[in-house]
Amino acid sequence: MDIGIVNKRYAAEVDAELERAISGCGAPEPLISAMRYSIKAGGKRLRPCLALGVCEMLGGNAEMALHLGCGIEMIHTYSLIHDDLPCMDDDDMRRGRPSNHRVFGEGQAVLAGDGLLTFAFEYMLGMGLVHESKSYFKAVHEIARRAGVSGMVAGQSKDLECENSETPDESALSFIHSHKTADMLTAAVLAGAYSADAGERQLLALERFSQKMGLLFQITDDILDYSGDEALVGKTLGKDENSRKLTFVTLYGIDKARELAERTAEEAKSILYAAFGPGAEYLVQTVEKMLSRKY
Amino acid sequence: MDIGIVNKRYAAEVDAELERAISGCGAPEPLISAMRYSIKAGGKRLRPCLALGVCEMLGGNAEMALHLGCGIEMIHTYSLIHDDLPCMDDDDMRRGRPSNHRVFGEGQAVLAGDGLLTFAFEYMLGMGLVHESKSYFKAVHEIARRAGVSGMVAGQSKDLECENSETPDESALSFIHSHKTADMLTAAVLAGAYSADAGERQLLALERFSQKMGLLFQITDDILDYSGDEALVGKTLGKDENSRKLTFVTLYGIDKARELAERTAEEAKSILYAAFGPGAEYLVQTVEKMLSRKY
């Protein structure tokens, strides 16, 4: 298996479906242009690809995984738009282009985010009424939970609070990463599993795996920030490099951070092999790609 | 029937359920305090009351209507928080208290709004997994659609655009009111109907009624703004009184606006009587209360 080829196929499906969905969403101008600007901003579609990869591994319903994955991508995109706002991280650039509020103004950017978040549920629920599967609705609920006030929004809130504090501590760092980053990756992996009507044991293994992957994602991101290799990391997390933020590198030093990344990747792979054997190759290669900082 | 007594009973149920839901939502501080501050800001619970009233009229499942109504109230509350932001209507006060961002800061206010919106779906979907009713999920989908980019968010976006323009026209005014106000009232009425597994004809009559009620709500609000009777209207729509906004009063004059309100109320009542006969008393009294500006 060449994960590059598989991901290209997945991303093409996701791009086409996102464009189809947004085109028919009924938003007026300038709202629809603001939504489309950020949806088409060159994201790698990591989350929908994870949903599709897990679904394929488990022999599930690929359409369901596609619909859930696209909903997750809309939610991820709204979070980046709101994260870049002046009252949040105040970022003028995102993935090498002006951020949403720099192009459409702050008010419309808030609404583009609100719109993408609401439309994610309108879209996923609309598809759910066609699928008529309880497992699918469980997935939509899981996505809402992971995106919400005990998940991603909780991470953002804590992050914002710590930026204003002089002494962020290690437990806050762990809370922020676990919720701001890992929760939506977990939602994507579990969405793929629900699309295959996975059992409790598989769901648990995939959740444990996702938490490791989320941690790995964050450590390699911190390492890249430290190395100043902006081109590769692409600022996907909306961090403010100028703040004296606590990161894995500032906390442990660069060598220990690299070691931690490698150990975390091994742990993630072990969980996969133990639960799914050689069938887990797509996820294993995702972990390796992440470790070598291609995400 | 005394609508005051009925509404008191409904509002008590809604308040208790909202408090139960928010208490268990798992949000950290200060996020949960910011959410609770606006949820408990003294709203009249008009939308959940409508859901409960329609459900009772049709002999439906009151639990379902309560859960959908509370979800709608969370969405309504998020929209007020975001509407008050400096980059939107820039309102320092809401219902006689400092607006959310004046108390918690802009960043946390954005997140409190994002959190309430996401939690509305987490909560409604979680309840849906218990109810196991297709009609209930149809209602959640309808709520997302009416709250979203072809509904309330579309109205907000157009409103924002018109505030920056010197010449807002009549069709823009109609678009804004229909989406910013009427759509969520319609969602509430239809949620009550879905809780009773209402048929196509009932849904259509209730949708036509809701559009009239939304228009009535807006006209009486404009009249109150004109009369300067701020205490009664309670600023529920987040309008900026200092802008030279096109309203029903500035468009038609105060006398014609009053006439239009009365005619609209009559039309709303006719639709109700034709479809539901004397059973529609709760909704009829709601219209009369609205006309005499008690909402």
What one-letter code names the amino acid at A28?
Answer: P
Nearest CA in chain B to A124: B141
> Which of these, A27, A106, A44, lies nearest to A236 by C-alpha position?
A44
pLDDT band at A168 (very low <50, low <70, confident <90, very high): low
Within-domain flag for B217: yes
A125–B contact, CB cutoff 8 A: yes
pLDDT at A133: 95
Q: What confidence category does residue A234 fall into, taking pLDDT thresholds of 50, 70 and 90?
A: very low
Q: Higher-confidence residue: A208 or B251? A: A208
**CATH number of the domain within which B198 lies:** 1.10.600.10
Chain B interface includes A27 (CB < 8 A): yes
CA distance B150 to A161: 34
Q: How confident is the model over B228-239, as pLDDT tens digits?
A: 644 444 444 444
CA–CA separation, A140 vs A190, rounded Å? 10
Q: What's residue A20's pLDDT?
A: 98
Predicted confidence at residue B43, as pLDDT, reads 85
Q: Taking Cα atoms as reference points, which of A39, A86, A5, A8 lies closest to residue B105?
A: A86
pLDDT interval class at B248 (50, 70, 90): confident
3-class DSSP state for residue B70? helix
Higher pLDDT, A236 or B107: B107
User: Residue A227's pLDDT is what?
Assistant: 81
Query: In whole angstroms, what separates CA B21 from the centre of its chain?
Result: 19
Question: Which positions 202-261 of A are in contact with B (Cβ < 8 Å)?
Answer: none
Percent of residues, chain B, with pLDDT higher than 70: 92
Structure token pair of residue A45 = 């579609």
Q: How confident is the model at residue B252 (pLDDT cuts 50, 70, 90)?
A: confident
Amino acid B39: pLDDT: 97
Q: What is the DSSP string of A222-248?
A: HHHHHHT-HHHHTTTT---TTS----H
**Contact in structure between A65 and A55 (CB atoms under 8 Å):** yes
Torsion from C-alpha of A9, A56, A148, B129, nearest 10 degrees:
140
Kindly provide the residue ranges of all beta strands, DSSP E only, lying in chain B, ordered along the sequence.
93-94, 97-98
The token pair at B148 is 């979203």
> Stretch A20-36: mean pLDDT, rounded?
98
- Residue B53 belongs to a domain: yes
Q: Taking a C-beta distance cutoff of 8 angstroms, is the pair B132, A165 a contact?
A: no
d(Cα B134, Cα B143) in Å, to the nearest integer?
14
What range does the domain containing B247 cover? 3-290
Residue B134 touches partner A, C-beta closer than 8 Å: yes
Supply the pLDDT for residue B110. 98
Q: How many CA atoms lie within 13 A of B222 on its CB side?
A: 26
- B275 in a domain, yes or no? yes
> B-contacting residues of A 29-58, CB under 8 Å?
30-32, 35
Indicate yes or no: CB of B153 within 8 angstroms of CB of A118.
yes
pLDDT at B230: 44
Lowest mean pLDDT among A80-84, A236-240, B92-96, B244-248: A236-240
> Cα separation of A41 and A120, whole Å?
17
Helix axes A183-195, A152-163, angle to 10 degrees: 170
Mean pLDDT of chain B, nearest integer: 92
Residues B45-78 pLDDT 10s: 999 999 999 999 999 999 999 999 999 999 999 9
What would the two tokens of residue B168 be?
């807002």
At B167, is the pLDDT very low, low, confident or very high (cuts 50, 70, 90)?
low
Chain B residues whose CB is inside 8 A of the A137 CB are: 125, 128-129, 137
Note whether A150 contacts B105, CB cutoff 8 Å.
no
- Measured CA to CA, the distance from residue A148 to residue A121 in angstroms comes to 13
Closest to A99 measured CA to CA, from A107, A108, A91: A91
Residue type, A198: A
The answer to the question of residue B295 being in a domain is no
- What local confidence, expressed as pLDDT, does residue A239 receive? 43
Q: Write the CB contacts of B269 (distance below 8 Å, at least 6 apart in sequence).
A: B284, B287
- Determine the average pLDDT of the residues in A148-168: 88
In chain B, the residue whose alpha carbon lies closest to the alpha carbon of A127 is B141
Nearest C-alpha in A relative to B116: A149
Q: What is the pLDDT of residue A166?
A: 64
Q: Is residue A295 within 8 Å of residue A46, measured between CB atoms?
A: yes
Query: How buried is residue B208: exposed, middle or buried, by Cβ count under 10 Å (0-12/13-18/19+)?
Result: middle
Query: Is B90 domain-assigned?
Result: yes
Would you put residue B48 in left (φ > 0), alpha (ψ -120 to 50) or beta? alpha
Task: Provide the number of structural domains found in chain B.
Answer: 1
Nearest CA among B203, B149, B205, B209 for reference residue B179: B149
Is the minimum CB–CB distance between B174 and chain A shorter than 8 Å?
no
Structural contact between residues A85 and A238, judged by C-beta atoms closer than 8 angstroms: no
List b or e across B237-275, with b for residues whose CB sees 16 or more CB atoms inside 10 angstroms.
bbbeeeeebbbbbeeeeeeebbebbeebbebbbebbeeb
- B88 in a structural domain: yes
CA dihedral B200, B203, B205, B206 (to 10 degrees): 180
